[in-house]
Amino acid sequence: MFEFENPPAFFLLLLIPVLYILRYIKIFSRLSLPLNLSDWNGSNFKWKGNARKFLSVFGRVVCVLFYICLVFAYADPVFHLQQKVYSSKGASIVFVLDVSPSMAAKDIGSQSRLEAAKNSIVSMAEMNSGSELGLVVMAENAAVLVSPTMDRKFFLNRLKTVSVGELGDGTAIGTGLSSAIYHLEKSKSPKKSIVLITDGENNSGAVHPHTAARLAVNKDISLYILGVGTRGVVPIDYVDPKSNKIYSGYLESKFDTSSIARIASEGNGKFFEIESISALSQAISSISKSENIAQSYYIKNQDIFYYRYFLIAAVVFACIAWIVRRFLLQETL
């Protein structure tokens, strides 16, 4: 929450209009020493060009901004931040995300399969704020991008960088699952789970997905599989990250969910067939509730003060006003 610790300081801003009113009615004006020349028949002083007029007005505006920044600094702006700090462990969840080129197909609402998957992961990260999150991406191979961590900022920033085609063409489901299991088996979390999001059958990798699914059962790791995609002709559009070649056209989607449904069954897990945004939201909500753990926590209060930034701005405006009036307008201050 943002607020000012000393709000009465803003009454000082009333001095600005008061000053200009007093000067306008000639009660308060600059000290000047008139010099009268009896034989002077020339014209009165006039600004030479629009540039000097502009600089004069600009200088006054900057002076006003200088004063306003001082008032804001005196008002002591502060941002009160409340952070929930967990004192007990929550669930440990590793997402295994398919990044094969077919995930660029746009058939989940107006989004591509990968965009919808990434948005669903963000939603689940918000729902399970006390859980450790990890990320594995897979295609022809699999790679661990984020080991299970409580650092939401790091996790979400890494998730944003994920794009289709970065691990080639293919779907190494078994390798992706085994990579996730490796990083979960030593976790001390009371609940451990894998959320696999894919649109294809296993056709790559050295580990059979059924072997990985049975291993998850042995390690007491829950398995959730989201089969994302529709059947038929769907538009596809993406840029290959390795060659920078643009692929745009249509994909003949023959998405068969039976094989990945069997993987979920082999791992005593749950399978969700995702053909729409609503189905995806319902699946994520269901998984989130299943993996939610009651945790003890305390609220950590932190105050961030901003007065120094207004003081710095005031100094900058003061320097600008001095330069404009002393060197450009050649006024004596």
Which pLDDT band, with edges at 50, 70 and 90, does 240 fall under? confident
Which pLDDT band, with edges at 50, 70 and 90, does 19 fall under? confident
Secondary structure E strands in 187-259: 192-198, 222-228, 232-239, 246-253
Q: Are 285 and 278 in contact (CB under 8 A)?
A: no
Average pLDDT over residues 26-31: 66
Q: Are 233 and 222 in contact (CB under 8 A)?
A: no
Domain 88-295 has CATH 3.40.50.410: yes
Per DSSP bridges, beta strands 192-198 and 92-98 are parallel
Per-residue pLDDT at 43: 61
**Angle at alpha carbon of residue 114, lines to 165 and 246, rounded to 5°:** 40
Average pLDDT over residues 54-59: 87
Per-residue pLDDT at 123: 93
Structure tokens at 280: 């995806």
Q: What is the DSSP string of 255-294?
A: ---HHHHHHHHHTT-EEEEE-SHHHHHHHHHHHHHHH---
Which pLDDT band, with edges at 50, 70 and 90, does 252 fall under? confident
Per-residue pLDDT at 87: 66
Report CA Rg, the chain: 32
Greatest Cα pair distance, the chain, in angstroms, is: 110
Over residues 124-134, the pLDDT tens digits come to: 998 888 899 99
Q: Where are the alpha helices (DSSP H) in the chain?
A: 15-24, 50-74, 113-127, 152-160, 173-184, 209-218, 258-266, 277-291, 307-323
Over residues 57-71, the pLDDT tens digits come to: 898 899 999 999 999
- What are the sequence ranges of the domains in the chain? 2-28+50-80+302-328, 88-295
- Top-confidence residue, 111 or 40: 111
Which pLDDT band, with edges at 50, 70 and 90, does 293 fall under? confident
pLDDT mean across residues, the chain = 87
Which pLDDT band, with edges at 50, 70 and 90, does 136 fall under? very high
Over residues 188-204, the pLDDT tens digits come to: 899 999 999 999 888 88
Average pLDDT over residues 19-31: 75
Write down the residue that tokens 């900058």 correspond to: 316
Over residues 277-290, the pLDDT tens digits come to: 999 999 999 999 99
Lowest model confidence (mean pLDDT) among 21-35, 216-230, 261-275: 21-35
Average pLDDT over residues 16-36: 72
122: Cβ contacts below 8 Å, ≥ 6 apart: 156, 159
Average pLDDT over residues 8-17: 92
